[in-house]
Amino acid sequence: MSVLKKIINKLRTEKLVPVKCSVENGSILAGKTALVVGGSGGIGKAVAKELAKQGCNVVISGRDPEKTKKCCQEIGTEHFVIMDLSNVSSIPEKIAEAEKAAGAKIGILVNSSGVNGKFKFGSITEEEFDRAMDVNLKGAFFLCQAMGNYMIENKIHGHILNISSSSALRPAWSPYQISKWAVKGMTVGLADKLLPHGIIVNAIAPGPVATEMLGKGEGDSIEMPQQPSKRYALPEEIASLAAYMVSDLGDLIVGDTFYITGGSGIVSLHH
């Protein structure tokens, strides 16, 4: 039996699925500089790695200095800034700090910062609601606005990509779901305002992804029987699409939200 067949059989036995990247290693982002906000999280870190693999000069941001520095080592970059999106007034200066760290003008923003929670309708508190809105919506809006202003001032034709959620497909009763519905509309609105300046705005909305946020660690099974595709998405799958969308290949994708749901909310389970 070949080595490849042994690996595939092992993955099937462990209920894992081998995943191929959709883009070749190398150069679709060569010469570009990106700021990945939330780059120390599961999806954000995978996006930062993929952008770097595609030749991009990457700066990551996170709220925890030690965690962010550790992620830099894993990604292979020394460029990072500590940023808290709930501190709206600091965002423009943090973008300037990111430019200084990168040693180049920033032409790509990926906003992967976000918070979730265990919400129970009927007992959701004002504090829980405000926390979700402050980061997922308010912080995202002011980050995109500041980056839009920065790109316009520097005459940069760039890309802004929000990492949203398939929760924008579901009835919105939790603060998290409400915030993601709003991000969908905000993405369309920002695309409308910024396209005349050569700035392209889009979003990716994953379904369940095998990250720490959902209790998944490295080596854990990605089986998910209740999902039509029977598994979680991997962060690398989200990252592969993100790299395409912020490259020149994605220039005609404007104001769209790309869903990666594994069929959740789209097709029925087949037994």
Catalytic residues: 176
Tallying the residues shown for the chain, one arrives at 271
- Identify the burial level of 23 via C-beta atoms within 10 angstroms of its C-beta, where 0-12 means exposed, 13-18 middle and 19 or more buried: middle
Spatial separation of the C-alpha atoms in residues 140 and 37, rounded to whole Å: 10
In angstroms, what CA-CA distances link 131 with 91, 169, 198? 17, 21, 33
Residue written as token pair 């081998």: 18
- Identify the burial level of 190 via C-beta atoms within 10 angstroms of its C-beta, where 0-12 means exposed, 13-18 middle and 19 or more buried: buried
Smallest CA-to-CA distance from 184 within 171, 197, 166 is with 166
Spatial separation of the C-alpha atoms in residues 165 and 163, rounded to whole Å: 7
Q: Which helix (H) or strand (E) holds 11?
A: helix 3-13
Spatial separation of the C-alpha atoms in residues 190 and 186, rounded to whole Å: 6
Tokens representing 76?
């292979």
